Structure 1
């Protein structure tokens, strides 16, 4: 199942060196982080709206758009699907409440702890 994510990640990585006039993804990279985040926000809203309608095909379509643009963000940040899959695997079998509590103890004011003070 994750093969398609890895293939897509490779394509997204290759688009980093392409002229923005010839590639949608390259144009997102050229727009920088804010352009990518704006697109993710748009796709997330469209996914929510699709879910509210209950149209399964539209939910799948909009979720695919959201995942795609999230993969663009990951690539922009030097990350990829493997990083997310590892984190999901780490969480598998952990209670959601336990995981949430663990995150709270590792954050101060919504931010990760400052490791430079350790």
Structure 2
């Protein structure tokens, strides 16, 4: 990597620290050439501390190290994206990130949809909420609905109407997310199983 350490007079470049799995940004630090080399050599993310005025390996006192996964350089050659596998909380104040956020994986709209399903279940307004009314009928009804939607997806897959196929696929996914919650799980639990299979 052709890193431009001379762009700033202090010889430091910003290092954005990102969890390699969840893709969440954990913190921002600064590296000079020595810190970068030590990071590569040890596999533990090391910075140049501007307050301590020395090289500093994250977690050297707390044990909450950042295990190096990958390093990418931006288009201007003056900022690093350091992907890591964190051990313990990243922030010195004890939170997962320096923005006081939890380092949970997010699946974008799917996660938002799960939150909506949860709120509808908890509202228990069976007159206004389809989700609440279906849950009130018990897990057998929720599971039955998933089966019905799966059959409809198969039927539409054999036809040439892509719009109907996608509509039924959306219905299947929605009801499957409901079934997961009825069983006490979330999509992240299914993804964890798939990730374990990938490692085998």
SS of the counterpart of 1:25? Answer: helix
The residue aligned with 1:45 is: 151
Alignment deviations for residues 71-107 of structure 1 (CA, whole Å, 9 cap, x no partner) = 000111110111111112222365xxxxxxxxxxxxx
- In structure 2, do the counterparts of structure 1 residues 93 and 59 end up closer, same or farther at CA, with 3 Å as the change threshold? farther
The residue aligned with 1:4 is: 109
Larger radius of gyration: 2
* Count of aligned pairs between the two proteins: 94
Q: Does residue 27 of structure 1 match 2:145?
A: no
Higher helix share: 1
SS of the counterpart of 1:12? Answer: helix
Q: Which structure's relative contact order is higher, taking Cα pairs within 8 Å and 6+ residues apart?
A: 1
Structure 1 unaligned regions, length at least 5 = 95-118
C-alpha RMSD of matched pairs (Å): 1.6
The residue aligned with 2:162 is: 56
The residue aligned with 2:118 is: 13
Structure 2 unaligned regions, length at least 5 = 1-105
Higher strand share: 2
Q: 1:71-90 counterparts in 2 under 5 A? A: 71-90=177-196
TM-score by structure 1 length? Answer: 0.72
- Find the aligned partners of 1:49 and 1:93 in 2 and give their Cα distance: 34
The residue aligned with 1:111 is: none
- In structure 2, do the counterparts of structure 1 residues 20 and 47 end up closer, same or farther at CA, with 3 Å as the change threshold? same
